[in-house]
Structure 1
């Protein structure tokens, strides 16, 4: 048992299960890039990469050089794609890890070619297109300036162009179908402008890849499904993360009293409140205060205060067996219930990944392997 006040468990068996399930669903002929950005969505590259290496995943997606180093240290020898534009110094620093870079526009191409010149060799790149309307780092193909930009890349010394890519802005089947059709047309135009070379075409992440087969092209980039944060595939994906703490203190208070900062909570009855030693400094956002629930003994209990930096208060009046030291689940399963991504999103107003990527990076992590989950997240 960990001695930390709060911690994260990562079910590596769930990661393997989810990968196998996605591979089966996709079938043959579509390359899979497993996404490990944001330290594997907070699950830990050090814990996830060995699972992927053991299952012979041939492509991984990262954003930072620390992640790139970690996957190479884990024995990964396949293709490594950065999923955002990187500046020249970052490209130079990551050169030892053989990263294929994401190229995001004319000016960014200058940074990449500068890095290539300093390295003394070409840099492999995937050219980002704005076919789906994300308007982030994609080059427009439907304008003369955009097409001229793409054509200019073909003659740049230092660029070894290996792919064209895009990214969907919405998880909506109609939107994805429309965007995939545009990407199909515009990627063909881009490839012609780039000299009709053989390039990988890819735009689909989890939702698109598993919902709209026409979006798959040559490769799909799978992130959320790998970690079980998706309701797709009939709920068969298994969540890999649990966020836990323990009851640190218990006290009884009389009706009419107030609890927490700003006297935000007034006790409507005599109540027993439990102190949980996790707060907003641990990534448990104040937006969850007075809205979220936790699990203790497999039953739900409400968070009643607005949270402190390192503690939160839970009303356990209806859980009379609660004792100091009892396990508390802030996210994930316990008994036959679960605090799900949908729960977190409903009460916080944010996507669950906004929170759990932080939990996994702020709190100590440990790997576990659970054969069966009694409930699913998402």
Structure 2
């Protein structure tokens, strides 16, 4: 068993959801929320997060792939599940899922299966507006018209995806493209749920349409709203050893850190096998006894060294905060992302997916 623990604060999760709900409902009381729980709910645990949100006022869950949806159904999740990036056919019907359509051949196969089963299937159609990833890009309105004529297929939603929501000008261009498709679809006599916005896009009232798809914002990070959000994940471990080393001692592989003074060196049982990136070597900080301690030397597969010289009271078995806060100090996913030259999404999914999770319920906080 690894020595990394992730505490998931469900009270913070609820706070963030209510904040999102207040924002979108103030613009349009009918706007719906689709919590994104793909990638194991960004490392927070998809089943537990979905169980929590199923008690809330949501439209559906969003997952990346069929297997993620199956895991939710097998855990007893009854709500609508939208599968974003998968061509699965038979399993869509067996598990009562809602597929996202991104080309015509995909929906033809689903239509044939629906006819064979003598049932109908609700789908969401993804259109290309500037992401360049998945979505119908060639004559989207004509393709949507053809899909509408397929037997046993019901178009429940039309969606797209914002590729650079922090860029107001480009986002406005994507929104305008989506609005053109919306006008065309409504002219066909189809009135589905339109949705394009992710967490960052919630800052634009004109991007909300009929539903929003928050992901990172649910879990406490979104630079447009950070002051209103609470990070849900705290990642911690325990000190496995403390060593007194003289000045001139090399630390870890490659001797990238040499002590400049007589030093107190802590060893924590966390490494890149736990999702603690090697890029954090000689860059990151952790928190011990309410004080920050720097990571020194190369991050190893299973172990990382920290300089405790300025925290002489530190002891073996002390709690070490890798992500989170203690006293007046904190380490955020933004901090780790900056040190590792990545993004907070990767920080959360990497640490959260490998750690043993503990869920803190509202009555426990």
CA RMSD of aligned residues (A): 2.3
Which residue of 1 is the match for residue 24 of structure 2? 26
CA contact (8 A) 2:8 2:359 kept: yes
TM-score, structure 2 as length reference = 0.91
Matched, 1:287 2:287: no
Which residue of 1 is the match for residue 164 of structure 2? 170
- Greater CA deviation, 243-252 or 151-160? 151-160
5+ residue gaps, structure 2, are none
Which residue of 1 is the match for residue 257 of structure 2? 265
Shift of the 282–204 alpha-carbon distance from structure 1 to 2, 3 Å rule, reads same
Which residue of 1 is the match for residue 313 of structure 2? 321
5+ residue gaps, structure 1, are 374-378
1:105-184 aligned within 5 A? 105-113=103-111, 115-116=113-114, 119-131=117-129, 133-140=130-137, 145-172=139-166, 173-184=168-179
CA drift at 1:43: 0.4
The size of the alignment, in residue pairs, is 361
Shift of the 95–366 alpha-carbon distance from structure 1 to 2, 3 Å rule, reads farther
Shift of the 56–215 alpha-carbon distance from structure 1 to 2, 3 Å rule, reads closer
CA drift at 1:196: 1.9
TM-score, structure 1 as length reference = 0.88
- Greater CA deviation, 110-119 or 172-181? 110-119
CA contact (8 A) 1:68 1:94 kept: no
Q: Distance in 2 between matches of 1:7 and 1:120?
A: 48
CA drift at 1:234: 5.6
Shift of the 181–319 alpha-carbon distance from structure 1 to 2, 3 Å rule, reads same
Q: Distance in 1 between matches of 2:320 and 2:236?
A: 6
Q: Distance in 2 between matches of 1:119 and 1:338?
A: 55
Shift of the 185–336 alpha-carbon distance from structure 1 to 2, 3 Å rule, reads same
The SS at the match of 2:324 is: strand
CA contact (8 A) 1:49 1:74 kept: no
Shift of the 119–329 alpha-carbon distance from structure 1 to 2, 3 Å rule, reads farther
